[in-house]
Amino acid sequence: DALVFFVPSKKIAIKCRKELLKIKISTKILPEATKWHFAKEWEHMPELIKFHKSGLKKSFPLSSSFINRAVALPISAVKSNNESSKIKSVLTKVLRDKLSK
C-alpha cells in the first residue's frame, strides 16, 4: 500500500517529507514514526529486551540504517490529475539540492 524508496540520509528523508507536506502530500510512517513500528524502540516487551543484552538502542543497526533513509508514499487508487507531477517536482528539487552539496 506504499511506494518506499531510500535516500542518502535521514536528513534528506525528513526534508522530502516536509516538502511533500507543503503541497498536501502525506507520507507514511517512515522515518519519523519508529517508536511504535520498530523493535529498537520497544520498551514494552521484556522478553525482547532480555534477549538483546547490549540494549535495544544498539540493536538492529542495519535496519536502522534503512528505516532512517526511507520515504514512504501511500499508493491510492484515486489521485488528482497532477498529483504525480507535483510529487516528482518536489522530490526532484529536494534530491538535486541535497545531492549537489
pLDDT higher than threshold 90 for residue 7: yes
pLDDT on residue 97: 78
**Closest CA relative to residue 19, chosen from 87, 99, 72, 76:** 87
- Please give the DSSP secondary-structure letter assigned to residue 8: S
Query: For residue range 37-96, what is the model confidence (pLDDT) as tens digits?
Result: 788 888 888 888 889 887 888 888 898 889 889 999 888 776 677 888 898 999 999 998
pLDDT on residue 46: 86
Give me the residues paired with residue 70 across strands.
Answer: 6
Burial letters 52-85, b for 16+ CB under 10 A, else e: eeeebeebbeeebeebbbbbbbeeeeeeeeeeee
pLDDT higher than threshold 90 for residue 33: no
Band of residue 15 on the pLDDT scale cut at 50, 70, 90 = very high
State the sign of the Cα–Cα–Cα–Cα dihedral 35, 36, 41, 43. Answer: positive
pLDDT on residue 93: 92
What is the rounded CA–CA span in Å between residue 101 and residue 46? 44
